[in-house]
Amino acid sequence: GAGCGLWPLGSLVNHSLHPNMARAFVHHAACYRLLRDVAAGDELLDNYLDVLSPFSQRSVLLAQVHQIADEGPDCFDAPDALVAKLHWHAAQADTAIEEGRLPDALATLLWVVEACRLSGIRDPAFAPHCVALAGVAGAMGEIALQVQAFAAALAYATARERGS
């Protein structure tokens, strides 16, 4: 079910698409760490949202939940049309996986990840496609491809927030 919490330290932190700190939870404790040096008096900034969210999802969530506008799109955000196209193809790969058609899923995910690469955009929203490719590659015994896909996922996931 849904929960709630009281976070006194968290109330001092504001949202930014380009934060200077990252947040994690360890059991019931919120833990914050700096991503870069912060001078005395500088505002503490955290990304309130999942760093892998595409611009279209971020903007809706920030408006509905926090009543603030997203700072993006920025240089890391892929166009909505590309994100939607890749999502559709990834859904086709998911169907192939569910039906046990791993070679088809592999081919589709290879296409998706190559489209991400060819876009020249380092959108963190591309990371889940690489993770999906890694999963299928591993299931098929393609260990080198699995490692490459995980490395690509990490590169996309940390593109905007290095060290997060």
Contacts of 9 (CB under 8 A, 6+ apart): 30, 32
80-157 sits in which CATH class?
mainly alpha
Beta pairing class for 21-26 and 14-15 = unpaired
How many secondary structure helices (H) and strands (E) does the chain include?
A: 5, 4
pLDDT (tens digit per residue) in 37-59: 999 999 999 888 888 999 999 99
pLDDT (tens digit per residue) in 17-33: 889 998 888 888 888 89
DSSP for 21-42, please give it: EEEEEETTEEEEEESS---TTP
Residues of the chain with CATH 1.25.40: 80-157
pLDDT (tens digit per residue) in 101-135: 999 999 999 999 999 999 999 999 999 999 999 99
C-beta separation of 56 from 80 below 8 A: yes
How many CB atoms within 10 Å of residue 31? 10
- pTM of the prediction? 0.86
